[in-house]
Structure 1
């Protein structure tokens, strides 16, 4: 940990950025099993936000591991560090007045709570993308469950590693019951109701 560092206050405040962007900046943290539809719904939702004139960015679990977190594995410590880094990056986007949509399995409640603690109460919105393990395995869009069942992928969430579903998420999107479009529209309606957009 560095000790010879000094915090410099920004000349532009988050409130000023929000006013200019005409939106409330926050993180919508999508969590759920692999194959639940996190990335698909997150991107559909982001597209709708953008088309409405909002400033939005998507941080996707696989994409982040191609760059920022390419040095991390999938053991418990690496998963914690993965989420910690993404939380810090998300906080920077919130300070810049952006709406951040993240799509990470983020299997541990404590890690999600750590990210929540980085932000103000109205800046973190936990979105549980709810889909049964059976349906996720049936979908298996990347062929990962098949490999995990065959013992080719260790520490695979839902098979050989735990997934802790959110206790009190701000919203639950059931992707077995609702279409991608319906899930995205649910979120748009919630943000409009809260006057965040």
Structure 2
């Protein structure tokens, strides 16, 4: 499940990772984004994967009010892909706390087992919660305050400008996994990965 999914680009990363590891299981994916501007791209995604074993769906409704869970009662992965930096930019300090509280309640209520945070590499300041990283750290601290047991890993790419003291691990390389397509000029200035990832496993 992805909150603030946009075009749902993470679907292709997940499928590629499964193929590389020769794991032949279907994914059941729900992307939620209130902006309907992504709908044409989301439809392309659904159509391109309709002949595979994967089940992909998108919604323009409020995830907190609309999500009813998967058939087995478990959500294996919640993806926060460039979502929290958006919240850090546009929400007031009180709004940031309220949003994270809603996220934590949602995570615990729906038995979510793993959370993948992928966002810009700006580390930010904890007092002002001015980055996605700081909002993710706030989310983790609120999960901890509920008495929930978890493990967490922090990862970034080489030459990351600032990492704090959480024990960030470097990837060995930062080249793009997907090759540039002919005629796609939007990728002209993008030559490497430069983001941060935080992975939380709830026990």
TM-score by length of 1: 0.34
Q: Which has the higher contact order (CA 8 A, sep 6+)?
A: 1
Structure (1 or 2) with the greater helix fraction: 1
Structure (1 or 2) with the greater strand fraction: 2
TM-score by length of 2: 0.33
